[in-house]
């Protein structure tokens, strides 16, 4: 089972920058997208174009051109979901289309676009509230369904100093605030594993987002904001986890997890 996750910064935008070439080469069984900024109506022509390869579930925000998540499932794959749920049944988050949960035979995948805390930190509390609600739901599903859980997406936080190029100058920047980072510590304390760091501990300069300003991507001045967190039992099934930094099309790059289920 190959799962790819990508903050595309606009589904319509990335569709003009080689998105279908990318999935045509790598053939993920599941593609988890964040920040799609589109409704089904907006991208119906794209869904029809890709329809021979993937079937899609979109969860757009109520606000036009904002937020939203999607899951694409490869047709003919042996890894098709039993069902997909939109949201947390909490209007304050679901109105922004921030979470899609897909249950498969052996795993449950939660695709989240975690809020940005904003430069003035005005949405940090909202971000942390959403984050803890997602973790609580993941723990509930793990206990109830007896299946391994994968939380993926743009978590909008760099966990430790190794996860961004300039930790000192960003100490008071949202995405690296102590209480934002502490939430990722909470995830670990509750039994979730940062899969990339589990297999690549201490490896520097591993980023998934770069600002468009100042040639930062070319100079690899970035942040690691995109993750696969999983329950411990999934780790023996992981065959590969990587950042596809060579793939353009967004200010984020895709991340990919290969499993032998």
Residue 173 pLDDT grade (very low, low, confident, very high; cuts 50, 70, 90) = very high
**pLDDT at residue 127, rounded to an integer:** 98
**pLDDT at residue 177, rounded to an integer:** 98
Can you list the domains of the chain with their CATH numbers?
2-259 (3.60.10.10)
Residue 204 pLDDT grade (very low, low, confident, very high; cuts 50, 70, 90) = very high
- Give the model confidence (pLDDT) of 137-172 as tens digits: 999 999 999 999 999 999 999 999 999 999 999 999
Whole-number Å distance between alpha carbons of 181 and 148: 24
154 noted as active-site residue: yes
Of 42, 154, 194, 226, the catalytic one is 154
Whole-number Å distance between alpha carbons of 114 and 225: 10
The DSSP bridge partners found for residue 151 are 110, 229
**Three-state SS annotation for the chain:** CEEEEEECCCHHHHHCCCHHHHHHHHCCCEEEEECCCCCCCCCHHHHHHCCCCEEEEEECCCCCCCCCEEEEEECCCCCCCCEEEECCCCHHHHCCCCEEEEECCCEEEEEEECCCCCCCCCCHHHHHHHHHHHHHHHHHHHHHHCCEEEEEEECCCCCCHHHECCCCCCCCCCCCCHHHHHHHHHHHHCCEEEHHHHHCCCCCCCCCECCCHHHCCCCCCCECCEEEEEEHHHHHHEEEEEECCCCCCCCECCEEEEECC
**pLDDT at residue 228, rounded to an integer:** 99
**pLDDT at residue 257, rounded to an integer:** 98
**pLDDT at residue 59, rounded to an integer:** 98
**pLDDT at residue 114, rounded to an integer:** 98
Q: What is the mean pLDDT of the chain?
A: 98
Neighbours of 150 (CB within 10 A): 27
Residue 52 pLDDT grade (very low, low, confident, very high; cuts 50, 70, 90) = very high
- Give the model confidence (pLDDT) of 92-110 as tens digits: 999 999 999 999 999 999 9
Q: What is the DSSP letter of 209?
A: B
- Give the model confidence (pLDDT) of 222-260 as tens digits: 999 999 999 999 999 999 999 999 999 999 999 999 999
């Amino acid at each position: 089972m190959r799962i790819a996750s990508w903050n595309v910064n606009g589904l319509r935008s990335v569709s003009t920058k080689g998105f279908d070439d990318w999935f045509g080469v790598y053939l993920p069984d599941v593609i988890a997208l964040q920040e799609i900024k589109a409704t089904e109506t907006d991208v119906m022509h794209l869904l029809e174009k890709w329809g021979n390869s993937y079937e899609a579930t979109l969860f757009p925000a109520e606000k036009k051109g904002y937020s939203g998540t999607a899951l694409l499932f490869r047709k003919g794959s042996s890894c098709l979901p039993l069902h997909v749920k939109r949201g947390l049944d909490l209007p304050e988050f679901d109105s922004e289309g921030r979470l899609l949960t897909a249950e498969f035979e052996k795993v449950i995948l939660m695709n989240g676009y975690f809020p940005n805390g904003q430069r003035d930190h005005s949405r940090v509390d909202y971000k942390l509230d959403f984050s803890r609600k997602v973790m609580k739901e993941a723990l509930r599903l793990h206990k109830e369904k007896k299946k391994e859980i994968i939380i993926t997406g743009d978590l909008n936080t760099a966990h430790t100093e190794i996860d961004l190029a300039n930790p000192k100058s960003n100490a008071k920047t949202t995405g690296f605030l102590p209480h934002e980072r502490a939430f990722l510590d909470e995830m670990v304390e509750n039994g979730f594993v940062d899969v990339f760091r589990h297999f690549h501990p201490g490896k520097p300069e591993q980023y998934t987002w770069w600002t468009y300003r100042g040639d930062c991507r070319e100079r690899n001045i970035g942040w690691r904001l995109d993750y696969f967190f999983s329950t411990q039992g999934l780790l023996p099934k992981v065959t590969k986890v990587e950042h596809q930094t060579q793939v353009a099309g967004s200010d984020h790059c895709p991340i990919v997890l290969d499993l032998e289920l």
